[in-house]
Amino acid sequence: MKIYLDTANVKEIQEAASFGLLDGVTTNPSLVVKEGRSFREMLQEVCKIVDGPISAEVVSIEADAMVKEGKELAKIHQNIVVKCPLIPEGLKATKRLAAEGIKVNVTLCFSPTQAMLAAKAGAWCVSPFIGRLDDISSNGMELIRQILTIYKNYDYKTLVLVASVRHPQHVVEAALAGGHICTMPYNIFQALFKHPLTDSGLKRFLDDWKAKGQQ
């Protein structure tokens, strides 16, 4: 499973990339606004840090405008993946962009039927938001399993990008389900490394070593 960081914070991306484990980055308008800087400049900087897919979202809601915006985003760097919302106009734009060889991440997916339509439109990946489904007492991970089954049944090539991840267990469940990609905030990426028994075990080893006067 590929691991992406869901952020527009360049410092966080640099830190995650330093481990050599980061496969890509996803952004959205809310994350970009939070950073208070030029969207284009931020994308250019991120593309220099991470040699992998970088999702950049359009803010138009009409197909022609999305296509125009998407083409401009795609010109920034070969690794840019254009994000289009899963609305009728977004699927129209996805079909047109995909036909021109531009990778599209269809975002804000909340149902199997939406995911099926995204695949039929030629999406490079689809982003089901599991955390937001959990927030309304639905089962986000069940949606991932359903989408993966549908895609397997019909040999759709669209990748399943597990998004809106709330905690490390979501990452585990995504991997167990066979999700192709999981994107997460930096704090959750950090949490993947941690376990209290690792910390206590290492402390004990080092304490024993020092107690015997080892150098």
Residues with a catalytic annotation lie at: 83
Residue 181 CB neighbour total at 10 angstroms: 21
CA distance 192 to 165: 12
Cα–Cα distances in angstroms (integers) from residue 175 to residues 3, 83, 165, 168, in the given order: 10, 23, 12, 11
Cα–Cα distances in angstroms (integers) from residue 23 to residues 49, 141, 183, in the given order: 11, 22, 10
CA of residue 144 relative to chain centroid, distance: 14
Classify strands 104-109 and 159-162 as parallel, antiparallel or unpaired: unpaired
Cα–Cα distances in angstroms (integers) from residue 139 to residues 109, 110, 171, 180, in the given order: 13, 10, 15, 19
- φ/ψ of residue 91, rounded to 5: -70, -35
Token duo for residue 64: 């022609």
